[in-house]
């Protein structure tokens, strides 16, 4: 393929390959990149994206063939983007999700895409389980209560509910979903799941659709990718099926849940609680949640820990080096 | 609370109460026993049921000369004068494993909440600060942390199993090693603290363990170390804990118990690296039912002369 041949060609001796940096970089990442590549930083340029991409075409001795992007919706690698940067042959993303990359467009143009592999899985899983325990056992709510000095005055905060024996329905049993399952099993939960296809390597009960999963679950954990099929996969019907004692935890994408319906369901007591790390319009969180004691809110931090940051840097650099050396990507999303 | 004697055939066993019963207990045990609040001397009382954590003193025990069994409904029995019980040859029972699972679950919840700053971020988001001020600073990974458990009994062993599933490396300290346990035994608490990122307290409060977590231990745990206490407040030198947290000598804490509940040192209220709860680790409706079953089993066993279910070693 033309892209692979172009990638394998080394630049003139002494020069570095150029790389587009379309995300904020911490010191470690910035230093590591600059040691190896000529870095064209979008956020440092201050220019609007189309101007930045156009100007980058003129880079000497060669335009940047690889770009580092992050998720979160700030920049979409779609047809318009790729039209503005036809010199790009490889996109390295470090988001746990891929909804910001139009994979079909990239495939059509022969652009390689490297993902985050399993770097995030343990941290997201840890956080998901933390959220579930928090919602069921009122950890954050009790913390608020004690801090307000209410314990001596009003007595004990209301009881939470036992984790052991709860039927937890996981939507999406990829590496994050599986890591969640492993932790919850140790906590005595019964694991069941829905995904596009059943996994024959696991013994958990499989449900063909989310409504039947919700009907037979005490808690739902959303751990699937966001795409056209999974937008609002947790909707009014699913919340209704989950029921008034059920709770939902979302560490995937805000768009996986119909946020307005979730708010109604919580307001009307149609479900018992929720633990949310992601929202439809981050960082805006609907104020209706703020007065709900049966909801735990975190700021899209499931993936981010100080340790995963450096793991991620290493993975990004590893993918860039593989691309420029003409080797297969370490964590390829495209080609499949 | 029937006290007038009925005919011998109808007479339900007499159980004295150290304090009034919770409604759930009263409902479950009604009809099986006669309950009397032990406010005064009673020559008849063979059993004293202790429904809560109010102190049971030498004086109170002294007013019950026929006493044989002190039946607690909690896991910890440090609120009972155990020296007096020991010298009088009284048996003391506790709630056995009834609360163990829920305590262990909560301890794990506290570990994640402190390391991943869940409660602090929740407060941050609720105040609208995510949109206004940007991301909360990074928290730290749970997986791979070295966890030291103090007391590998019913609760501690369950905490160990759960955190091992998170990919944590687990070691423990207790009075004696548990040969059947797969975890590493560390003979000295100070060494356990020095070699751990997270120290979980799940042991009984006794004369030997009182203030076992002192400044030295906390400094050994260190500025990135986290202390989790689901045992008893008295295990920790609380004023020293506050100082260590304030000075950054200790990295963080998750506390379910305190030296003078419900009083919580107010200096902790504005610390983001601390998660506070109101002695709720043990309590879920299911665990209360479980405790009731253990208490009932102990009372039944006592009155029919069978071995008790959960005697405490005095």
Q: Decide which of A215 and A121 is more confident.
A: A215
**A5-19, B186-200, B293-307: least confidently modelled range:** A5-19
> Is residue B79 annotated as part of the catalytic site, yes or no?
no
For the segment A222-236, the average pLDDT, to the nearest whole number, is 93
For the segment A228-237, the average pLDDT, to the nearest whole number, is 95
Helix (H, G, I), strand (E, B) or coil at B146: strand
Average pLDDT of the residues of chain B: 90
pLDDT band at B287 (very low <50, low <70, confident <90, very high): confident
For residues A286 and A288, what is the distance between their CA atoms, to the nearest angstrom? 5
Question: What pLDDT score does A159 carry?
Answer: 80
Q: How far is A189 from chain B (nearest CA, A)?
A: 11
For the segment A291-307, the average pLDDT, to the nearest whole number, is 86
pLDDT band at A286 (very low <50, low <70, confident <90, very high): very high
The percentage of chain A sitting over the pLDDT mark of 90, rounded to a whole number, equals 68
A137 touches chain B (CB under 8 A): yes
Task: Tell me the pairing of strands A112-114 and A332-334.
Answer: antiparallel
Query: With a CB-CB cutoff of 8 Å, which residues 90-119 of chain A face chain B?
Result: none
Residue in this structure with the two tokens 């100080």, named with its chain if needed: A306
Average pLDDT of the residues of chain A: 90
* Contact call for A307 and B284, based on CB within 8 A: no
pTM: 0.81
Q: Is A198 left (phi over 0), alpha (psi -120 to 50) or beta?
A: beta
Contacts of A149 in chain B (CB under 8 A): 266, 269
Question: What pLDDT score does A165 carry?
Answer: 92
> Is residue B261 annotated as part of the catalytic site, yes or no?
yes
Question: What pLDDT score does A23 carry?
Answer: 79
Helix (H, G, I), strand (E, B) or coil at B270: helix
Chain B residue nearest residue A154, CA to CA = B262
Question: What pLDDT score does B39 carry?
Answer: 61
Contacts of A145 in chain B (CB under 8 A): 278
pLDDT greater than 50 at residue A8: no
Query: pLDDT tens across A153-199, in order?
Result: 888 888 888 899 999 999 999 989 999 999 999 999 999 999 999 99
For residues A21 and A66, what is the distance between their CA atoms, to the nearest angstrom? 9
pLDDT greater than 50 at residue B66: yes
Helix axes A121-137, A139-147, angle to 10 degrees: 60
The contacts of residue A291 (CB under 8 Å, 6+ apart) are none
Query: With a CB-CB cutoff of 8 Å, which residues 269-308 of chain B face chain A?
Result: 269, 275-280, 283-287
Question: What pLDDT score does A4 carry?
Answer: 40
Query: pLDDT tens across B88-135, in order?
Result: 999 999 988 888 888 999 999 999 999 999 999 999 999 888 888 888
Q: Which residues of A are catalytic?
A: 253, 282, 300
Question: What pLDDT score does A2 carry?
Answer: 40
Question: What pLDDT score does B40 carry?
Answer: 56
- The residue among A74, A148, A283, A284 with the most chain B CBs within 10 A of its CB, best to mutate, is A283
Question: What pLDDT score does A283 carry?
Answer: 87
pLDDT band at A13 (very low <50, low <70, confident <90, very high): low
**A21-30, A123-132, A135-144: least confidently modelled range:** A21-30
For residue B216, give the H/E element and its range.
Answer: helix B215-221
């Amino acid at each position: 393929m033309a892209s692979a041949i172009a990638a394998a060609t080394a630049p003139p001796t002494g020069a570095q390959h150029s790389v587009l940096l379309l995300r904020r970089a911490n010191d470690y990442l910035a230093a590591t990149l600059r040691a190896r590549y000529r870095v064209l930083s979008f956020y440092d340029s201050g220019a609007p994206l189309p101007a930045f991409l156009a100007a980058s075409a003129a880079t000497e001795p060669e335009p940047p063939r690889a770009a580092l992007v992050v998720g979160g919706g700030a920049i979409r690698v779609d047809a318009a983007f790729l039209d503005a940067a036809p010199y790009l042959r490889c996109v390295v993303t470090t988001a746990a999700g891929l909804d910001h990359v139009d994979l079909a467009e990239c495939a059509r143009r022969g652009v390689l895409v490297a993902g985050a592999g399993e770097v995030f899985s343990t941290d997201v899983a840890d956080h998901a389980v933390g959220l579930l325990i928090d919602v069921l056992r009122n950890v954050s709510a009790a913390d608020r209560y004690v801090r307000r000095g209410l314990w001596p005055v009003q007595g004990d905060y209301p009881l939470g509910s036992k984790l052991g024996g709860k039927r937890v329905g996981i939507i999406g049993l990829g590496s994050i979903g599986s890591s969640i399952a492993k932790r919850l099993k140790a906590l005595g939960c019964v694991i069941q799941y829905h995904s596009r296809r059943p996994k024959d390597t696991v013994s958990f009960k499989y449900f063909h659709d989310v409504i039947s999963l919700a009907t037979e679950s005490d808690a739902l954990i959303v751990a699937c990718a966001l795409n056209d099929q999974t937008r609002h996969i947790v909707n009014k019907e699913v919340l209704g099926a989950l029921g008034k004692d059920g709770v939902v935890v979302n560490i995937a994408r805000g768009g996986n849940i119909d946020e307005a319906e979730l708010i109604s369901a919580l307001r009307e007591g149609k479900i018992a609680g929720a633990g949310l790390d992601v929202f439809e319009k981050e960082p805006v969180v609907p104020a209706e949640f703020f007065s709900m004691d049966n909801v735990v809110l975190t700021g899209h931090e499931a993936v981010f820990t100080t340790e995963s940051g450096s793991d991620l840097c290493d993975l990004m650099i590893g993918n860039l080096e593989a691309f420029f050396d003409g080797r297969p990507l370490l964590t390829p999303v495209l080609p499949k | 609370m029937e006290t007038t004697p009925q005919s011998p055939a109808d007479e339900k066993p007499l159980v004295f109460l150290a304090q009034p019963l919770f409604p759930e207990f009263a409902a479950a045990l009604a009809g099986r026993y006669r309950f009397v609040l032990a406010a005064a001397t009673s020559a008849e009382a063979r059993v004293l049921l202790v429904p809560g954590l109010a102190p049971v003193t030498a004086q109170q025990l002294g007013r019950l000369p026929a006493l044989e069994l002190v039946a607690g409904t909690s896991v910890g029995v440090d609120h009972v004068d155990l020296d007096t019980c020991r010298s009088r040859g009284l048996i003391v029972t506790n709630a056995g494993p009834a609360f163990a699972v829920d305590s262990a679950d909560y301890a794990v919840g506290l570990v994640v909440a402190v390391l991943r700053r869940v409660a602090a971020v929740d407060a941050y988001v609720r105040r609208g600060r995510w949109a206004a001020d940007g991301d909360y600073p990074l928290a730290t990974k749970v997986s791979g942390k070295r966890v030291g458990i103090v007391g590998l009994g019913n609760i501690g062993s369950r905490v160990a199993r759960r955190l091992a599933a998170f990919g944590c490396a687990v070691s423990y300290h207790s009075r004696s090693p548990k040969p059947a346990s797969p975890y590493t035994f560390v003979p000295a608490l100070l060494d356990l603290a020095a070699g751990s990122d997270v120290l979980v307290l799940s042991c009984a409060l006794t004369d030997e363990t009182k203030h076992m977590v002192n400044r030295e231990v906390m400094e050994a745990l260190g500025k990135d170390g986290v202390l989790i206490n689901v045992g008893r407040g008295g295990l920790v030198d609380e004023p020293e804990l506050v100082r260590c947290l304030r000075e950054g000598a200790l990295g963080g804490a998750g506390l379910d118990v305190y030296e003078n509940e419900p009083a919580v040192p107010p200096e902790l209220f504005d610390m983001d690296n601390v998660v506070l709860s109101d002695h709720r680790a043990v309590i879920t409706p299911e665990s209360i039912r479980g405790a009731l079953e253990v208490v009932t089993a102990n009372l039944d066993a006592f009155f029919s002369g069978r071995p008790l279910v959960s005697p405490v070693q005095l």
